[in-house]
Amino acid sequence: MGMAITRDNTPSIKRFEIEEKLKNMGDYAKMGYLSQCLKKNLDFDTRRFVLLKLSEIYEARKMHMEAGKMMRAAAEITTTYEGKMNDFMKSAELFIKAGNFEESDSSYNKALAYAAGMQKDRLKNRRKEAYKLQGKEFLQKDKRKHAMDAYEKLLTMELTAEEKKEVQETLLMLYEKLGKIKEFYALKASMN
């Protein structure tokens, strides 16, 4: 059972060969090996498997930025609209965890492009919940500036009256703690 040869005469690795090799490796060895695999000739299924596996390991290691990039790359080569939508959305959520809201927006907009009807509403809610969760996590870790960014982003989304009030109150508290007097009074005035 030898390696398959591609058109340009470079050997291509098969998915089962990669899975075999990964069995006895630690996470860091896996990350190195899988990154090397991406530089080789892989069929779409194998490349997608490698990207998803890397994303999974990065996410487990709290390397959300890298996980988001791998998930987005996997989404690009996914063959179904549903698959693309889900992978791009997962990528958007990973970028939110990384605190990179620009990259998240990019992936979210791609996910939205593959969504239809009710799916769009579900994606909007998933995005909103991801920002809420991340904002709370930043608060718990006392990362006030990151929390402020997350809550400001939330305020630009479709929120219920109750959600909006909650976000505004959290922002007021953050502005006060961060000494953002101008923002504090501007928000307070807009709430009245």
Q: Where are the domains of the chain?
A: 1-115, 120-192
Measured distance CA(178)–CA(95) in Å, rounded: 24
Tokens of 42: 């892989």
The string of pLDDT tens digits covering residues 115-164 is 999 999 999 999 999 999 999 999 999 999 999 999 999 999 999 999 99
At residue 33, does pLDDT exceed 60?
yes
Say if residues 72 and 98 touch (Cβ distance below 8 Å). Answer: no
Nearest in space to 67 (alpha carbons), one of 42, 104, 33: 104
Tokens of 21: 């090799």
The string of pLDDT tens digits covering residues 90-111 is 999 999 999 999 999 999 999 9
Q: Bridge-partner residues for 11, per DSSP?
A: 5
Say if residues 131 and 153 touch (Cβ distance below 8 Å). Answer: yes
At residue 11, does pLDDT exceed 80?
no
pLDDT of residue 13: 82
Does an H or E element contain 5, and which? strand 4-5
Model confidence at 10, in pLDDT bands (50, 70, 90)? Answer: low
pLDDT of residue 90: 97
Q: CATH number of the domain at 1-115, please? A: 1.25.40.10
pLDDT of residue 5: 44
Q: Bridge-partner residues for 5, per DSSP?
A: 11
Average pLDDT, the chain: 92
Rg (CA), the chain: 21
